[in-house]
Amino acid sequence: MPSEKILEQKKQAVSELTDTLKGSCAGVLVDYKGISVADDTKLRAELREAGVKYTVVKNTLLSFAAKNAGLDGLQEVLTGTTAIATSADDHVAAARILSKYANTHKNFSIKTGFIDGEIISLEKLAALSKLPSRDVLLATVCNVFNAPIAAFARGIQAIVDKQNEEATA
């Protein structure tokens, strides 16, 4: 039987992991076995740059945290080595980065993911990974809204230019 101190540390770890899961808009679980330290370091740096928290976890602790956070479907994939990437505000970043990495490293695989408290299939996760970043999506939306205004301004300017040409002629 574990000591009281160890038990308290595990309870604290489950509590922190539960808070992380509840505070995340999206997360991806991966099997990270067989990757080199250099590759892992590059992956962590890329995830950190995108605002994604990446943590290697024990399956039993993640199982308890997932249950506490209402993500009951995660228990089915909690075998082998497990790491979890969570993001508090970007639904796509973890899926995009980890899917790209899994495509180039044969031993690294995606187990499952969740969005807004719902477990998603690997197919949905793959589709999600193909979406552009939040900044690119926002820029695209801004361009769509800006296009009619810009076209109107060019039309008005053409009228003004035509009137100026007629006045000088």
pLDDT in tens, 23-67: 888 899 999 887 888 888 999 999 999 899 999 999 999 989 888
Higher pLDDT, 37 or 169: 37
pLDDT beyond 90 at 127: no
Residue 85: per-residue pLDDT: 92
pLDDT at 72: 81
Average pLDDT of the residues in 141-148:
77
- For the cut 80, the answer to whether the pLDDT of residue 135 exceeds it is no
**Rounded mean pLDDT, 104-130:** 84
Domain locations in the chain as residue ranges: 4-131, 132-169
Q: What is the pLDDT of residue 150?
A: 74
Burial class of residue 40 in the structure, from the number of CB atoms within 10 Å of its CB (0-12 exposed, 13-18 middle, 19+ buried) = middle
- What is the predicted pLDDT for the residue at 124? 82
Percent of the chain with pLDDT over 70: 95
Structure-block tokens of residue 137: 């999506």
pLDDT in tens, 65-105: 888 888 887 888 888 889 999 998 888 888 889 998 888 88
Record the tokens describing residue 145, joined without a space. 């809204």
Beta bridge partners of 85: 28, 54
Residue 16 has pLDDT above 70, yes or no: yes
Specify the pLDDT at position 134.
Answer: 67
Answer whether CATH 3.40.5.50 is correct for domain 4-131: no
The CA–CA distances, whole Å, from 57 to 23, 34, 50, 52, 165 equal 17, 16, 20, 15, 73
What pLDDT does 169 receive? 65
Alpha helix (H) ranges present in the chain? Answer: 4-22, 37-49, 59-69, 93-104, 122-129, 134-168
pLDDT for the residue numbered 9: 87
